[in-house]
A and B are shown apart, each in its own frame.
Chain A
Amino acid sequence: MTLMTPDKSQENQQPTQWEGSLEELKGLVSERAFTGETMLLNMGPHHPSTHGVLRVLLELDGEEIINLLPDVGFLHTGIEKNIEHKQYEKGVTLTDRMDYLAPMNNNFSFCLAIEKLVDLDVPERAQIMRVICLELTRINSHLVWLGTHALDMGAMSVFLYAFIQREKILRMFEMISGQRLMTSYMRPGGVWRDFTDEFYTALDSFLSVFPSKVDEFQRLLTNNPLWIDRTQGIGIIEPETALAWGVSGPSLRGSGVNWDLRKAMPYSGYEQYEFTVPLGEHGDVYDRFYIRILEMYESVKIIQQALKKLPRKGPFRSENRKFVPPPRAELGRSMEAVIHHFKLWTEGFSAPDDEVYVAVESPRGELSVYLHGTGGTKPRRVHFKTPSFMHIAAMPVMSKGHFIADLVAIIGSIDIVLGDCDR
């Protein structure tokens, strides 16, 4: 180790230059950038408030943003390609790691696609269990968003309070799946295991206090004049523009478009639950913030209704042994079960050479899966259209003409997760 002598590796390094030429930016930044009238500034990929590894190239006139070019891919993991080399059920494990704030939603969307492709039924009870998990994940994701969004804007304490609640949800996930974050709990045909008794107790106590905690967050932010000053009128996106740019989820509803896939095109039995879809008016940062806050209350309502409907005992996974491995207890008793078990865990099940498309409402927006089988046991192609990808693409529309300090608010308000964007 060399403390006193200068770093050798830096000595013969050239000063870092921006690789790539201005030429390739022709047509993307304004003409004034080429004469040096406006400034090109790089932000990220290592930046405290870009929520991960987003890089944006800003064209600035003073402090005003003239143009903005997001650059993603710093977290491109090749998940889609990796799933093509795995059996269907094993691919579920990889989907967790895409949108790591809402792993259950990713599992669910992929399982839904598999179920549609092979025409597999899901028991009623498993659907209710899925809804409970999905809504818990939604709360979980919104809590992280709330904490980091507020932290970016200088409100440290919200982050600490939000994470106390989040820990409770993670503990519950651990009770049912054995993992805090990467649960892989949803499987084709249902869920992995039944809810445990302690999960019910923990969920009950969580639901009884959580709404009052959201009130607490609201007291810290909703009417806070500083918060309002920094968020209202910033990052406005008109409903028509938002639709054309493929913005979805809370960011779209912030512009006042009443579109929630859970309501409009229900899946997994969402049509049986009563809930409202909060809508904004102005499409600014504040509206998007407030909608997510209200959505947390709605999620609590959905979970309560689901808990009422959920029988404590019953099937939690399909009985179709062509696709679903038998439970362990059966292996000792039945030869057939052993055969199915062996077949499903070595070779996997086959799916037809055809394509399906499903879309679900993830906490961030419309998450859709395109799945193409080969006729064999591995998929030919999986493609995830992820909401963060579309939202980052739409970021230039929202932030033109704003100050550079507002960009942090805008990035926070569209709730991007770079793992979700780059996959």
Chain B
Amino acid sequence: MSLPQPKDPVESVKAALPTAVLDVTAFRGDTTLVVAPEQIVAVCKYLRDTPGLVYNFLSDISAVDYYPEYNRPGRFGVVYHLLSMLYKRRITLKTYVQEEEPVLDSVVSVWPAANWLEREIIDMMGIDFNGNPDKRRVLMPADWNGHPHRRDYPLGYETIMFSFNVEEIMKHKPKATE
């Protein structure tokens, strides 16, 4: 059985879904397609199912917050890393999500693996995914406030104990003998 000739992913996506690709960037040999947010599911389906592309494995979905600088088209970027095992190559899809309405369509219908990766983003970044079957928090406790991986969420720390504040700190620690 011979493999179909590999196609150039950028050109074929541009030809098939002309409105989907907003930009193409390359950095250190990686190609990134900037995709319109409403088209993300269509692009993913196309990349998975077209002979010559067959990006059959979803490696990662991650989200990045451009908070203090706002130097990109949206506050959040959601990044999909796809892998084609047949042709041994990767491609990155990126969409920008606005701060006011952080919602995207879920790609669970394309890869079930996206389920938990999206849940993690819902939990840690506060970007909602339409159509994700399970939107409970995955890493943080269910009653947690806020989304820790946003850049405006403080890292949080404890006052370090020195001899001048030792009594104050020891006050709230439980004792063995009561």
- Is there a contact between chains A and B in the complex with CB atoms less than 8 Å apart? yes
**A24-B136, A72-B138, A246-B111 are contacts. A381–B60 as well, Cβ < 8 Å?**
no
Segment at the A interface, from B98-106, B112-120, B165-173: B112-120
Q: Which residue of the partner chain, among B116, B133, B153, contacts A389 with CB atoms under 8 Å?
A: B116
Is B75 interfacial (CB-CB < 8 Å)? no
Known: A366-B59, A381-B62. A119 touches B136 (CB 8 A): no
Q: Is the CB of A73 within 8 A of B141?
A: yes
Partner of B81 from A1, A370, A381 at Cβ < 8 Å: A370
B139 touching A76, Cβ below 8 Å: yes
Chain A residue at minimum C-beta to C-beta distance from B89 = A265
Q: How far is the CA of A19 from the CA of B136 in the complex (A)?
A: 14
Instruction: Name which residue of chain A comes closest to B155, CB basis.
Output: A85
Q: Which of A20, A259, A265, A385 contacts B62 (CB 8 A)?
A: A385
B interface residues, how many (CB within 8 angstroms):
47
Q: Are B60 and A385 touching (Cβ within 8 A)?
A: yes
Question: When the two chains form the complex, which single residue of A8, A20, A264, A354 contacts B178, counting CB atoms closer than 8 Å?
Answer: A8
**A389 contact set on B, CB distance < 8 A:** 116, 120
Task: Give the residues in chain A near B111, CB-CB below 8 Å.
Answer: 244-246
Please give, as numbers and ranges, the residues of chain B lying within 8 Å of A76 by CB-CB distance. 139-140
Q: Are B28 and A119 in contact (CB under 8 A)?
A: yes
Q: For the complex, give the distance between the alpha carbons of A290 and B88 in Å.
A: 26
* Chain A, range 256-295, C-beta contacts under 8 Å to B: 257, 259, 264-265
Within 8 A of B (CB), among A1-53: 1-2, 8, 19-20, 24, 27-28
Given contacts A85-B155, A119-B28, A355-B27, contact A246 B57 (CB under 8 A): yes
Nearest neighbor of B59 in chain A, beta-carbon distance: A368
**For the complex, is A151 an interface residue (Cβ under 8 Å from B)?**
no
Measured in the bound complex, the distance between the Cα atoms of B36 and A14 in whole Å is 52
Of all chain B residues, the one with the shortest Cβ separation from A381 is B64
Complex-state Cα separation, A73 to B131, whole angstroms: 23
List chain A residues, Cβ under 8 A from B39. none
> B27 near A81 (CB under 8 angstroms)?
no
Interface residues of A in 340-387 (CB under 8 A from B): 353-357, 359, 366, 368, 370, 372, 374, 380-381, 383, 385
Interchain CB contact under 8 A, A356 and B30 = yes
Check A393 for interface membership: any CB of B closer than 8 A.
Answer: yes
Given A244-B111, A354-B27, A390-B116, are A368 and B60 also a contact pair (CB < 8 Å)? yes
Partner of A357, one of B58, B90, B134, B137: B90
- Let me know if A245 and B178 touch, CB within 8 A: no
> In the complex, which residues of chain B have a beta carbon less than 8 angstroms from the beta carbon of A72?
138-139
Question: How far is the CB of A255 from the nearest CB of chain B, in Å?
Answer: 13
A225 within 8 Å of B (CB atoms) = no
Give the CA-CA distance A133 to B139 in the complex, in Å. Answer: 31
Which of chain A's residues 119-139 have a Cβ closer than 8 Å to chain B? 119
Tell me whether A357 and B30 are in contact in the complex, defined as CB-CB below 8 angstroms, given that A73-B139, A80-B149, A368-B81 are known contacts. yes
Check if B37 is an interface residue, CB within 8 A of chain A. no
B39-59 CB mask vs A (1 if < 8 Å, else 0) is 000000000000000001111
Q: List which B128-150 residues lie within 8 A (CB) of chain A.
A: 133-134, 136-142, 148-149
B97 close to A (CB within 8 Å): no
Could you show 11 A-B contacts with beta carbons less than 8 Å apart? A72-B138, A117-B28, A246-B57, A259-B85, A264-B85, A355-B32, A356-B27, A380-B64, A381-B62, A385-B117, A422-B139
Which positions in A face B, CB cutoff 8 Å?
Answer: 1-2, 8, 19-20, 24, 27-28, 72-73, 76, 78, 80-82, 84-85, 116-117, 119, 243-246, 257, 259, 264-265, 353-357, 359, 366, 368, 370, 372, 374, 380-381, 383, 385, 389-390, 392-394, 422
